[in-house]
Amino acid sequence: MTSDTTPQSDVPEHTLKGLRYTRAIGVATGVFLVGWIPFNAARWMGQAPTGLLEFEAFYFCLFGGMLMLPWSRIAAPKLWRALFISLCVLTVGFGFLMVIDLMFLYILAANAGQKVAPPAFQSMLLFAALIQAPTVYFVRKPHALN
């Protein structure tokens, strides 16, 4: 136990269980992002803006890797803090990347005279990603939930 953590005995078990489930969703999202890279190009049907697919592949790999980190096993407070700040910054960047992705999809559809379906895919990814930074924090400091 480090000075950054506290005993979890005062935190209800159902709360800890919910945090574990949410982290599992984060790990699954990270695995999905990395696994999605080869299939992302098919979604664009050969009309992706120059550099977007390459940037998304790099970002999905980096962000997916951060989501898959074993956060509860990182004992060094300085390392954990640096990685956590990186996760927060990457999460905000992921939100912007999803918005940019949608904007380009809508522009391409409008130019082709088509209508794009509601962004359920990007919305689910964004929700699963945005919930991870607070979850990682509360896994580290569950007493902060009380």
- pLDDT 10s digits, 90-127: 999 999 999 999 999 888 888 888 887 788 888 999 99
pLDDT at 114: 86
Q: List the one residue out of 52, 9, 60 whose CA is nearest residue 33.
A: 60
pLDDT at 26: 95
Task: Spell out the alpha helix ranges (H) of 45-76.
Answer: 52-68
Token pair of 25 as six digits:
């969703």
- pTM (predicted TM-score): 0.86
Domain boundaries, the chain: 13-145
pLDDT of 47 > 90? The answer is no
Question: How many angstroms separate the CA atoms of 20 and 11, rounded?
Answer: 13
Tell me how many degrees the CA angle 108-90-30 measures, rounded to the nearest 5.
Answer: 80
Buried b (16+ CB within 10 A) or exposed e, 69-85: bebeebeeeeebeebbe
pLDDT above 70 covers a percentage of the chain that reads 94
Mean pLDDT of the chain: 89
